[in-house]
Amino acid sequence: MPLPTHNDVPYLPDGACESEPPRDPYPLWLTLTIFLGVFGVLQWAWGEARETWVERLVIHEATVKPAAALVQVITPEANARPVAASIKAPGGGLNILNGCEGTEVMFLLVAAFAAVNLGWRQRLIGLALGLGLVFVLNQARILALFYAFRNERSLFDLLHTTLLPAVLIAAVALYFYAVLHRSRLA
């Protein structure tokens, strides 16, 4: 059955006129190779940065200082202060070790965006917003751990080792899915 036309213009059921054809996804083997390769390189580089200025920059400056400042805003009476890789406070603080600063989730997000076939603009905007999301969620995770350690130590291990990492990964995975879904609709 032929498609109806108007003035020699073919009928397009999705209403798309003059839009780019959708990008074909990479083959699964290529997507997995890129994802694992990028993630592996980032993990290796982060391991090489241990006990260097890079680790101090990421942990102390970009993770501990903002978290301590947030504690001071929320509960000034806690008298929290950043000291190297720790939030120190009378009544209990928190150590932010390599692995607690959220880099692994950021690396997963970078690898995921590297492995999918998106335009550069979509990729960069999605990645920038996603990295911001990871930072905010990780700061919330650190605050939850700080207050759990001080107020409900029995919850600390469950939050630290299971619940909060799973929530962080799930939230970032949902974000990534939403970006992909939106790009497919555009």
Q: What is the pLDDT of residues 150-165, one digit of tens each?
A: 988 899 999 999 999 9
Examine the pLDDT at 11 and tell me if it is beyond 60: no
On the 0-12 / 13-18 / 19+ scale of CB atoms within 10 A, 63 is buried
Q: Which of 161, 155, 52 is nearest to 99 (CA)?
A: 161
Query: What does the mean pLDDT of the chain come to?
Result: 88
Per-residue pLDDT averaged across 158-185, rounded? 92
Do residues 41 and 111 make contact, with C-beta atoms less than 8 angstroms apart? no
pLDDT, one tens digit per residue, over 76-94 is: 999 999 999 999 999 889 9
pLDDT tens profile 95-125? 998 778 899 999 999 999 999 988 899 999 9
Task: Give the mean model confidence (pLDDT) for residues 161-178.
Answer: 95
pTM: 0.81
- 22 in the Ramachandran plot: left (φ > 0), alpha (ψ -120 to 50) or beta? beta
**Helices 103-115 and 28-48, axial angle in degrees (round to 10):** 150
pLDDT score at 14: 57
The beta strands (E) that lie in 51-181 are given as: 81-83, 86-88, 94-95
